[in-house]
Structure 1
Amino acid sequence: MGVYNVHERVLPVPRAEAGQLIDGLSGGADQLWPRSDWPPMLLDGPLAQGARGGHGPVRYTVAAYVPGQWVRFTFSGPRGFHGFHEYTVHPLDEDRTLLRHTLAMRARGPARFTWPLAFRSFHDAVLEDSMDLAERACTGTVARPSRWSPYVRLLRRFAR
């Protein structure tokens, strides 16, 4: 099963400022990963190619990193996740930047069931929360905050 999933937010800041959000991932001043409501993104060292870690049951290695522009993580777990997820910044003009998160993978074996039944809904919720954090970091507010679906709230209750 092929999976291609994209979350984006236009931020009213220059590319360099949006890129700093990527550079802070998994660090003490991380303003992009929603660690207060979700398992934190943890790496075995600073954000750099070859660093290993993950969030919750999702495990990965930093496959590529261009400071201020792009980071790609390749999956090593859960079983059946074959692909990557990445954050990128794309300048729209001098004062606006598109922040994008892309997940591209093949779900094989048990992931053919776990992705659509649980991981997809969790993924969409955590990424919209991440985009809200990015907007808040750049503007001090969020125009249209994301809301968890009843299904995500139910899954979270079972996950506890």
Structure 2
Amino acid sequence: MGVYNLHERVIAAKESEVGALIDTLSSGEDDRLWPHHLWEEMELDRPLGVGAAGGHGPVRYTVAAYVPGTWVRFTFTGPGGFRGFHEYTALPVDAEHTVLRHTIAMNLSGLSRITWPLAIRAMHDAVLEDSLDRAELACTGTLARPARWSPYVRFLRGLERLVTRPAGAREEHHPSPAGD
């Protein structure tokens, strides 16, 4: 099963400004592109560059190519069944506008043929729109049309919180029959 997934936004900023956001990926609090305040952080085992390995949540990848200020491509190493890449690219439209594009091109096999359409795609689409919001806000100081999570994404995020909540937080208090 093949997947081609594209998210892009025209940002009223120079290519150099938008491209500089790509360079901050996986830099913790200094990351101005990945929406780490809402989603699991993108983490790499070293600074962004060819060969750096890491991921976000269950999605794992290695930096396969990197042109600072312009483009980064990550090759998937997990989950099992993801074969392909995802990338960010800054493409100039004119002197004052740039397209920030995120692309996934991959083939799915095994369980991923079920998990991608059932849950991962919706979550991916939401995180990418949040990422594009961060880019637009960082470059322009405003958001023309902020991304909104669908009811299905809000439902999946609720399930995620239930599954990842510490065990003690899931326990409910059941009063004893004596009323104490």
Q: Which TM-score applies when normalising by structure 1?
A: 0.99
Q: How does 1:70-109 map to 2 (within 5 A)?
A: 70-109=71-110
Which residues of 2 match residues 44-83 of structure 1 at below 5 A?
44-83=45-84
Shift of residue 141 of structure 1?
A: 1.2
TM-score (norm 2): 0.88
Is the aligned partner of 1:27 residue 2:27? Answer: yes
User: Following TM superposition, by how much is the alpha carbon of 1:98 offset from its aligned partner in structure 2, in angstroms?
Assistant: 0.5
The number of residues matched between the two structures is: 160
Q: What corresponds to 2:115 in structure 1?
A: 114
Specify the alignment match of 1:10 in structure 2: 10
Which whole-Å deviations, capped at 9, do the CAs of 1:30-64 have from their partners, x for residues lacking one? 11000011000000000000000000000000000
State how far apart, in whole Å, the 2-side matches of 1:144 and 1:13 are.
17
Q: Distance in 2 between matches of 1:18 and 1:112?
A: 34
Structure 1 residue ranges, 4+ long, deviating more than 4 angstroms after superposition = none
Where relative contact order (Cα < 8 A, 6+ residues apart) is larger, the structure is 1
Q: Distance in 2 between matches of 1:94 and 1:67?
A: 19
The one-letter amino acid of 1:58's match is: V
- Secondary structure at 2:41 match in 1: coil
* Larger relative strand fraction: 1
Give the gaps of 5 or more residues in structure 1.
Answer: none
Q: Deviation per CA, 1:92-150, whole angstroms, max 9, x where unpaired?
A: 11111100000010010010000000100000000000000000001111110000000
* Long gaps (5+) in structure 2: 162-180
User: Letter of the aligned partner of 1:142 in structure 2?
Assistant: L
The answer to whether 1:40 aligns with 2:74 is no
Q: Which amino acid aligns with 1:149?
A: S
RMSD of equivalent CA atoms: 0.6
